[in-house]
Amino acid sequence: MTILILLALSMAAAAMTMTAAAAASFSIELIHRDSPKSPFYNHSATSLDRARAAIYRSAHQARRIAARAQRRGGIEPSDVVSKVVPDSFEYLMELRLGTPPFSILAIADTGSDLIWTNCVPCTKCYKQTAPLFDPASSSSYRTLPCDSNPCKALPHSPCGAGGTCEYQYAYADGSKIDGVLGTEDLTFDSSAGTPVVISNIAFGCNSQSSGVFSGRTAGLAGLGASPVSLASQLVPSLDKKYFSYCLVPMSDAQASSKVIFGSAGVVAGDKVTTPMTVEDSFFVLRLEEIIVDGAGTVPVPASATGLKTGNIIIDSGTTVNYLPTGVLSSLVQEVSRVVSLPNATDPDRLLPLCFTVAGEADRQKLPFITFKFAGEASVRLSPTSMFMQEANQVVCLAVADTGSDTPILGNVAQQNLHVGYDLDVKEVSFASADCATL
């Protein structure tokens, strides 16, 4: 995790700090919730416990994404559904907010928009273990007016006293947040080794938050495509409008994933690239077919429920993949044809195809599976990226049925892939990588 740097108010501070205009590149550590670095780490949980919990969270995340993608018409205040279900997240990141920098541990999500944290005075906030952010202690804090562009980008933003932009978010589980939209400085460690300060980042300063939020987190950092997300607000200030991430395998408990902003994050080497569109802050791709090594090819319909410009969302906050019923049925058939292992049953009945795998020799019988996207972008995924262990000696295809809902490319499939988002030319690149050493 990037560590908190307390900048002294002295002449040396100005010399050591880069401005946004001079910023080159920087990265932020992505901490998986099951990592020993995470406050959610449970040392008594087994790898099977963690895998099954991740699959359950995936189901909640997929339903949340489908509801958003299919929502039509105007949004009334009572209908506002936030961009994340509080306990369905997979990754955390540390943000250093304000002047001097104040560290908060936030949920990171590529399908979310608003950056927010609990602030002093928080009259009705959930109890968090870390101190609250106090805007009065920061010399760079400013509130935003109702006619500002960030305020207009929110789904519901009533005007407060003096024309201050306020927000009200409701969650699918009944949790709520209310607060004031402001701007702050964010401090990062650059690739050049000196701190980078990005000014005027819009964020939500909660005065109320209630529900099932965990006290071990202090906010949320959206990495989606909305104008108020962290990613969208950072990249225009950098040397290249680009960000990427590289997710280490879930089995690697010691290494951390990272998200990289600017030119240092550009995917290089033997890469493939596919066009990208943006819908409701989601990054959307067009999946053309799925190829199972040693078997056949599964065509994928060009359209998907709730999506207008593509047929699959790429999301780092969902663990497993989700495909339409017909596509999944054909994929199961093709995988079954080539795998000579006894069939097993998913004890939770969430994944459709499982095998009895007694050892490494059996694992070698699981096939590579290629996802072919528009633009001849073929991403060949190893068995460790397409199969998950669900029980003792039971390994399942990490794909679930989305029914009539929205297909999703999840984070298990993205393990050890360097995934880059070029926001200038609107494309996504993939390259195989050892994410633990990137």
DSSP secondary structure code for residue 325 in this structure? H
Task: Check residue 148 and give its pLDDT.
Answer: 94
Which candidate in 87, 315, 401, 405 is catalytic? 315
- Nearest of 299, 413, 429 to residue 58 by alpha carbon: 413
How many Cα atoms occupy the beta-carbon half-sphere of 175 within 13 Å? 18
Higher-confidence residue: 146 or 194? Answer: 146
- Write down all domains in the chain, each with its CATH number in brackets: 11-246 (2.40.70.10), 265-432 (2.40.70.10)
Query: For the ranges 67-76, 142-151, 225-234, 316-325, which has the lowest average pLDDT?
Result: 67-76
Distances (CA, A) of 202 to 64, 117, 133, 259, 358: 24, 12, 15, 20, 52
Query: For the ranges 21-35, 183-197, 275-289, 378-392, which has the lowest average pLDDT?
Result: 21-35
pLDDT band at 379 (very low <50, low <70, confident <90, very high): very high
Q: What residues pair up with 381 in beta bridges, in sequence order?
A: 369
Through-space distance between the first and last CA atoms of the chain, rounded to whole angstroms = 15
Helix (H) or strand (E) holding 202: strand 195-210
Residue 172 has pLDDT above 70, yes or no: no
Task: Check residue 112 and give its pLDDT.
Answer: 67
Task: Check residue 305 and give its pLDDT.
Answer: 74
Higher-confidence residue: 205 or 177? Answer: 205
**Mean pLDDT score of the chain, rounded to an integer?**
83
Section 327-352 average pLDDT: 94
Higher-confidence residue: 201 or 46? Answer: 201
DSSP secondary structure code for residue 4 in this structure? P
Residue 40 has pLDDT above 90, yes or no: no
Residue 79 has pLDDT above 60, yes or no: no
Burial 46-78 (b: 16+ CB within 10 A, else e): eeeebbbebbebbbebbbbbbebbeeeeeeeee
Task: Check residue 239 and give its pLDDT.
Answer: 84
Q: In this predicted model, what pLDDT tens digit does every residue of 89-123 receive, in sequence order?
A: 788 888 999 999 999 988 887 666 789 899 998 88
Whether pTM > 0.95 for this model: the answer is no
Task: Check residue 210 and give its pLDDT.
Answer: 76
Query: For the ranges 61-65, 67-71, 136-140, 264-268, which has the lowest average pLDDT?
Result: 67-71
Residue 343 has pLDDT above 80, yes or no: yes
Q: Is 315 a catalytic residue?
A: yes
Residue 21 has pLDDT above 50, yes or no: no
Query: For the ranges 50-54, 172-176, 284-288, which has the lowest average pLDDT?
Result: 172-176
Section 279-298 average pLDDT: 93
Higher-confidence residue: 279 or 329? Answer: 329
Which candidate in 34, 109, 405, 422 is catalytic? 109
Residue 5 has pLDDT above 50, yes or no: no
* Rounded CA Rg of the chain: 22
Task: Check residue 340 and give its pLDDT.
Answer: 95
Task: Check residue 15 and give its pLDDT.
Answer: 30
Q: In this predicted model, what pLDDT tens digit does every residue of 144-167 receive, in sequence order?
A: 999 999 998 887 777 877 899 998
pLDDT band at 75 (very low <50, low <70, confident <90, very high): very low
Q: Is 239 a catalytic residue?
A: no
pLDDT band at 87 (very low <50, low <70, confident <90, very high): low
pLDDT band at 20 (very low <50, low <70, confident <90, very high): very low
